[in-house]
Chain A
Amino acid sequence: MRSERREQISALLDGELSEREAGPLLIEMRTDPELRSAWSRYHLMSDALCQRLPDTACRDISRRVSLALEHEPTCLPMRWRLESRWKPAAGLAIAAAIAGVGFFGLNRNQLPEQVVPQASTIGSAEFHPLPIATVKWNGQPVDASSRLSAYIVNHQQFNSSPQTQGLTPYFRVVTHEAQP
């Protein structure tokens, strides 16, 4: 393949080839598999450079370009098709980003129930945030909530977080008021 043809294909891909030159080139591409192959390669290179390729990068791009050429008088719609494959993906990314905003905007206690499916659904008590000050020593019968509070207090003494390195871990026991 002549280098002049390669340049023309590259220009066509960039939309910089004049109509006068594009017509004969497209006619030639209909019959010349080497030209068609170059056309698909250039597209692949362009998409790779612009990081538009999926992980499963168009392995059969050559065949699909051929098919497209059979049905299309010009190759430009083909390029649009390649791009159009990415529209839904981009849409999903935006949706995910918006969902992400919603994710962090939600009450943290509701959030995981909505985002992560429960492992099992055994008849159980729905848990709401408990004030830590309803500790195990409040003289109430041991029910589920006080059991959880006891767990939390027991956990605190092993807390090694940077903030408890700078302050006794028992501050949590004292700082928060019991709420009904």
Chain B
Amino acid sequence: MSLDVAATAAQVSTMAQQLAAHAARMKPVPDFARALLAQWHASHAEAVAYLEGQEQAGVWPFAIPIEPMLTVRRVPAEPVAYAVVAADGSQIDVDSHGLVHCCLVNVGWAAIAYGDRPDAWLANEPAVLHEDRELFVEADDGMREASESQLSMLRTVAEMERLALVAEAWRDRPGLVAIADGNLVRWELGGKKPSASSAALLHRYLGALAQLRAARIPVCGYISRPNARDVANTAALLAVRDCDRGKRAVCDRCAGRGDRLCESLRVLPDRDLFPHVRVGECTGLFRTPATVLQHYAPDDRIVFCYLRTAEEMARIELPAWCTGKQELNAILSAVYGQCLRGHGYPVALMEAHEQAVIHTGGREAFRQLVLAALNENQLEAAISSKRLSKDQRAV
């Protein structure tokens, strides 16, 4: 049957009313947050000491400022000659109703050089995963089929490994910077007791990061329109400390509100916190006390900042060894230059994505290849009754 539009409309209307009420409640929150940041900007050492004390509590993801809260850094001009490499991936998930239990991971990359010798290398490499050791992971209750999120972790690891390989191949290019798509903190592979398969994936990921460090190729992760709330959570933590010395009694600031301002802070994205950062500037650096970073080599532990481009506030993550003046300048100028060249998004990441993406035609080609290979080997090529039923839509 088709969708009951009338029933849906009533719910959408309720949703919109609630969103409007939420927006009204949130209106004073950004100003409150910025006032807090300004206050703690002046007491940097005290803020750091307090936050480091909170580190063990591990309640919320938050950030510890490496530099005073409101630090602003002007991004240096894009070098005349430099090079970037970027990698991205996509996948065809395991279809348990399909022909064979297998999946495909396609990693694409783009290496682009600017200056006297402009050059580009765009390519991709698919990997078909079909063996049990690739598609099943160890769980508490024995072997279990890898979930979609576990396969996407595998893809993320493959992307970082490819990034390191491509960067190595281009290491002689002056001013080379490696850009990964998304964050470099692998929260999903951490936790108190990571499974053997997660630990193995993390080991591979960290190996690739170490490879880039050994080759002295600055690397960063670029996150477009980030939803992270680490700095907002930090502001909330600091606000709670000041809120009646942690007793959390309702103070004057929250009088007349149904909720506390310091708690509302936690739903504010970090990107709304830095109106003082202008286009072509970035915030100071923050480090994140994520437990997974304990598995990272100290030099590879991830720090981040926010960079304002003409179009948006982007988050840049980088390993600690890249915070040296030379590496940081190389990363910021390359990333910002890439955004200027690429309609607001790094050109190399866009091209790596275009290399990786598997369109409908590619998906169908993969299905046909599998079908032909099964036929050639006299293997049964059957789809489930459920898939057949969905495809046929018989009346």
Are A and B genuine complex partners?
A: no
**Measuring CB to CB, which residues of chain B are less than 8 angstroms from any residue of chain A?**
none
**Measuring CB to CB, which residues of chain A are less than 8 angstroms from any residue of chain B?**
none
